[in-house]
Structure 1
Amino acid sequence: EISEEAGNEKYLLLIAYLVGLAIGVHLLNILTLPMIFMIIYYKRFEINATSFFLLVLVGGAITGFVYEMVVLIPEAIEIFDFGGLLVILLISLMILGFAIRNGHKVLSIALTCILLITVGYSSYMMIYIRSGLDPNIDENDPETVEAFISYLKREQYGEHHLSRTKQWKDSPNGNNYSSAFEFFWKYQVYEMYVRYFLWNFGGIEDTQDFSRERKRADPWQLWWLPLIIGMLGISHHFQRDWKHGLAIFALFFMTGLAIIIYLNQPDPQPRERDYSYVGSFFAFAIWVGIGASAILEWLTRTLREKQPQMANSLPWLAALLIFFATPMRMLALNYHEHDRTGNFVARDYSRNMLISSDEGGIMFTNGDNDTFPLWYLQEVEEFRTDVRVANLSLLNTSWYIEQLKNKEPKVPISFSDQEIDNLIYPVPWAQEKTIEVTAIDPAMRKLEAERYRLNLEQ
């Protein structure tokens, strides 16, 4: 509504800055950019196949550039040092000043947006500065530019690939699926997205434990109302304003199925991943709101035509009914799971674990969930700081082994830091060798099949 007003460009600049800030919180916020581009496109350009193709091409390039900027700036610092980066910044500001003085509006807005995005996600520098102070908990140890780049690229988690066939064959539970497409559809799409979507809008509680046993609660606990109202909202939105409907759909798709396609998750996952798709659920919630508004609008219009005396009161009653039947029912059904009052299980259990250790002992933990409560007790409550917690999941990284060796309470490791760095990475043999490996014992194979629910007939 304000795109024709004088000075409307300031809203684009505000969006750029907010996107930069949001990227500093989580990189997934980049996925809001396609929706923003579509809104600008509908307002400023003639809609046809050629212009839409250019939108996809240019929008994709800008989104990719913004994503890469997070790593490009530290890499520029590594190559040119801070002095060289300052020169690049000054040159950019000179170009920006030239564009503003000579009326190059698009160029000046584009450069200012890049600058504001950079300022926004400069909050990443907090990680670099904090690590340089050597805190007790210093994951990835990103205190050098090189280590900081490795942290941003998530190199410790290994390489990421998009091959569906390779992921299907490499997955421990891959034998449960007859093809890469079945793996994609049944596991990656349904198990890892649709199931979570139905949690939120259908009311189906369908959880799984590590043995892949499922327990299903009452499928009618939300009466499917959020899903039904949301579908009505989609229909109403596209009928009234298909352009903005497509923009919201872009947000819904990019923060949902697009993430599924990109992540290419193996089966199984160590934990439920519903939190990865919150943006998609937010987008659908917009349609739920539009659907509720459409119902009230239809009811008001119908009553004015047929029962004018009820046109003022009945819609309010309908609004209250929708309010109590959907959001309030969701609150009533889920409050007990979100109420942490008096829930000290993690703290008390971890405290008992630390108490059980001898003075100056080493306590090995397996992963995040059984490590972080111990760290909390030691760092915040300063309880049993003499015990060294050693996380087995991190022991394949050189920075963590060096922290165990060098930080109090120290673990007696005789290797030097250089030797630790060399041991972490594979050492090739001097010459190629052929190794004979004894076949897996049939009894062990049967036990493994039972453990992972493998289909040995495939």
Structure 2
Amino acid sequence: MVGLSFNLVLPVRSSMDPVINEGEPTCESVSGALAAVWTNGKVGCPALAANLRRDQYGKPPVTQRMAPFGAQLANYFQYFDWQWSRGVDASEVPGNKRIPFTLVFFALGAAGLYATFRADRTLFVYFAGLTGVLTLGLVFYLNFKYGFSLAPEVTDPNLHEVRERDYFFVAGFALWGMLAGVGLTWVWSTVVAFLPRVQASLATVPLLLVAVIPLALNWEWASRTGDWAARDWAYDLLMSLEPYAVFFTNGDND
């Protein structure tokens, strides 16, 4: 109850009729406000309940797809493709020079799951379940519209996301990177087992260098050296204000 209580700030502040009163979640009674907060908008004060349910965003249920599931999977693959060698080709769409590296790390991640399956079935169930939740599960649950830079044949901008949404899948990409490391280690140990000791050392050193590929091929793309845009933007905005001004930004990125 203590964790939910911060939501009561909304009707308390709204009742004071501030100049900016988004959603206007005013309530006629304390009991109505408490019921709305306790049930997360299922019952109670209608205005507050609508705020808590985020009715203003009009997000449909996951059974009502914002775009075909195949298009949403293509959008996920687009973001997956960005992770391993973006410096090779800066294009936003897949199907370019990055694809061989993307397929290598996809295969290594799958090999990591296989190696886990062979080593420890309980651990495999955990990792397989977590991988499913952070990949296909998230794609289904988030229910995005057509990708910002995909499906150009869909000309209505309202049917596309307003920006790239790759950041929602960061946890899944990190997990797949870890699985790729497990897979690379499994491939290395398999090769070593079939070669004499001296030959194994010579053969596996280049193999282990595969782990450096994302660092090497993303370095130039990911580097922000000399890029002061964010700092300059913030400085210019703040310097335009009078002392003690109340500043309303254009959005969360600002």
What TM-score range do you get, normalising by the shorter chain?
Answer: 0.5 to 0.7
| Residue in structure 2 matched with residue 74 of structure 1 by the alignment | 4
- Report matched runs for 1:163-242 at 5 Å: 163-165=62-64, 167-168=66-67, 183-185=68-70, 187-191=71-75, 193-201=76-84, 208=92, 214=93, 217-220=96-99, 222=101, 224-242=103-121
Query: What residue in structure 1 maps to residue 138 of structure 2?
Result: 259
Aligned pair partner of 1:244 in 123, 129, 145: 123
292, 302, 309: which is aligned to 2:194? 302
Q: Is the 8 A contact 2:66 2:143 kept in 1?
A: yes
What is the aligned-residue identity percentage? 20
Q: TM-score, normalised on structure 1? A: 0.37
Cα distance between partner residues in 1 of 2:83 and 2:56: 30
User: What are the superposed Cα offsets for residues 43-74 of structure 1, whole Å, 9 maximum, x if unpaired?
Assistant: xxxxxxxxxxxxxxxxxxxxxxxxxx8xx831
Q: Which residue number in structure 1 is paired with residue 207 of structure 2?
A: 322
- Give 1 or 2: higher helix fraction: 1
Query: Residue 292 in 1 paired to residue 171 in 2?
Result: no
Q: CA deviation at 1:279?
A: 1.7
Task: Give the 3-state SS of the residue equivalent to 2:117 in structure 1.
Answer: helix
Instruction: Say whether 1:276 aligns with 2:161.
Output: no
* Two-structure CA RMSD over aligned residues (Å): 4.4
Larger relative CO (CA 8 A, sep 6+): 1 or 2? Answer: 2
Residue 151 of structure 2 aligns with which residue? none
The Cα of 1:235 is off from its aligned counterpart by 2.1
Provide the C-alpha distance between the structure 2 equivalents of 1:329 and 1:76, rounded to a whole number of angstroms: 46
Q: Where does residue 42 of structure 1 map in the other structure? A: none
Alpha-carbon offset, residue 329 of structure 1: 2.3
Aligned-partner residue type, residue 322 of structure 1: L
What SS class does the counterpart of residue 240 from structure 2 fall into? coil
Gaps of 5+ in 1: 1-68, 79-126, 132-139, 169-182, 209-213, 351-372, 395-458
Larger Cα-atom Rg: 1
TM-score scaled by structure 2? Answer: 0.62
Q: Give the counterpart letter for 2:182 in structure 1.
A: I
- Tell me the matched-pair count: 209
> What letter is aligned with 1:248?
F
2:61 maps to 1:162: yes
Q: Distance in 2 between matches of 1:316 and 1:75?
A: 63
By how many angstroms is 1:248 displaced?
0.4
**Is this contact kept in 2: 1:238–1:245, CA < 8 A?**
yes
Once the two structures are superposed, residues 289-345 of structure 1 have per-residue CA deviations (whole angstroms, 9 ceiling, x without a partner) of: 221221222123223xxx25x27xx34761x4234333x222222112222221123
Amino acid at match of 1:271: R
Maintained 8 Å contact 1:231/1:288:
yes
- 1:245 is aligned with what amino acid? F
Candidates 228, 241, 253, aligned match of 1:344:
228
Alpha-carbon distance change, 220 to 341 in structure 1, aligned in 2, over 3 angstroms: same
